[in-house]
Structure 1
Amino acid sequence: MPIRFTSLAGARIGRGLDNNTIRRRAPLSAVRTPWQPEKPPPKTTPHLFLLVVEHDRLLSAELSASGFPVLRCRGPLQALQLGLQHRPQLALIDAEAPGANPTTLARRLWEELHIECLVAINGDTHPGAGQPCPPGTLGYLIKPPQQSQLRSLVTLALNYAAERRRHAETHTRLSGAIDRNREISVAVGIYMERLQVEQEEAFEALRGYARANQQKLLELARTVIHAREDKQELVQRIARHYAR
């Protein structure tokens, strides 16, 4: 007589010829079948790299001890190469690094790679101390720094640089959207002229008002353009909504 199987509460019971043999199998839900996909690997957070341009290992050692992953180099050419390859979030330039003019290097890192910099100097006698920071330079760091001060300053600079990048990306997106549609561009210009505000604020005000009224931005732009007697009132209404 063949073996007979009966399903019972997720287990399979097999009885032999003498009805004395019972075999239990795992529930089907616990058995991986070939068509079941594997769970995707957990997402990893991108590393936060700092580019350090220095003639010794003082700054990179202090940063590593504070928990910051560091890319170290000795001169401007290697700094630009590493910056292009790894896109660090911030650069720290030692003013005494061989062949490095910190002002020129900071400007190139910012203009070519959008990487902002801190410049490490020896005391308040450096020409840059007390002067407005040149393009690409967030500030100056007095050497030798205490570890707690270095960690706080670098963290502050990272947050500020990230905020500046987000602002620049937003401005680029808004400018592209405005340039692609002439009517939106004209409406933004009207709002800017009436209220004496910047382009980004004008665009955000129009977009926010359109969303709040379940209206397409292009439709609102056309209303602003073609409104006559009540144009100023419409612009003021949009401004009041934006100010909430």
Structure 2
Amino acid sequence: MRILIAEDETIIRLDLRALLEQAGFEVCAEARDGEEAVALAASSEPDLALLDVKMPKLDGIDAARRILDERPIPIVMVTAYGEEELVSRAVEAGVFGYLVKPFRETDLLPAIATARARHEELAALREEVDTLAEALAARKAIERAKGLLMEREGLTEQEAFARLRKASQISGRPLKVVADALVATLTT
């Protein structure tokens, strides 16, 4: 797994790099401020990012928000500040973990594993939502087309559906495409 580290304190950044590399991760980029983190996230395409909250130019939470706008990846905030307001902002931005310094390897590795797992679950849920939304849109289009056929041609619901299905089979196009075309034709 490729990891981006964004930490303005050099010693902590080097410690993080050593911990991650010892654990078998690849550190693909290191940033000293939030703006550099955003740029490096775009150019190095990490699988996960560790961001300090308080950094020059752009804080880690705003950097996380920008990174996630470009490409959703799991992000773990690493900070010396555990104030509720900062944690709330981080959660609102969409980060998947929050570690308060000082931390040990036994804290960091589970935070990374948890962030990855939560990110994968969210990606699966988003995919499922997209699939369900597409199915619902298809269902609405087919129902509308059936209704128009029933009204205009005096067909039963079964006859209207059979006609749509036959048109789909003959044309080799999905039922939704045929339904959309029929609706467009009959409503103009």
Q: TM-score, normalised by structure 2?
A: 0.62
Deviation at 1:158, TM superposition (A): 0.9
- Which letter does structure 1 place at the counterpart of 2:21? S
Change beyond 3 A, Cα 1:112–1:132: closer
Partner of 1:124: 82
Deviation at 1:156, TM superposition (A): 1.1
Deviation at 1:97, TM superposition (A): 2.9
Deviation at 1:74, TM superposition (A): 1.9
Change beyond 3 A, Cα 1:69–1:185: farther
Whether the 8 Å CA contact 2:64–2:75 is kept in 1: the answer is yes
- Which letter does structure 2 place at the counterpart of 1:75? D
Matched, 1:49 2:7: no
Higher helix share: 2
Rounded Cα–Cα distance in structure 1 between residues aligned with 2:4 and 2:129: 26
Rounded Cα–Cα distance in structure 1 between residues aligned with 2:127 and 2:95: 19
* Structure 2 unmatched runs, 5+: 145-174, 176-188
Whether the 8 Å CA contact 1:106–1:135 is kept in 2: the answer is yes
Q: TM-score, normalised by structure 1?
A: 0.49
* Structure 1 unmatched runs, 5+: 1-47, 187-217, 219-244
Whether the 8 Å CA contact 2:2–2:48 is kept in 1: the answer is yes
Matched, 1:160 2:118: yes
Deviation at 1:125, TM superposition (A): 4.6
Matched, 1:102 2:55: no
RMSD, aligned α-carbons: 3.1
Whether the 8 Å CA contact 2:4–2:50 is kept in 1: the answer is yes
Partner of 1:92: 50
Larger relative contact order (Cα-Cα within 8 Å, sequence gap ≥ 6): 2
Rounded Cα–Cα distance in structure 2 between residues aligned with 1:108 and 1:100: 10
Larger C-alpha radius of gyration, 1 or 2? 1
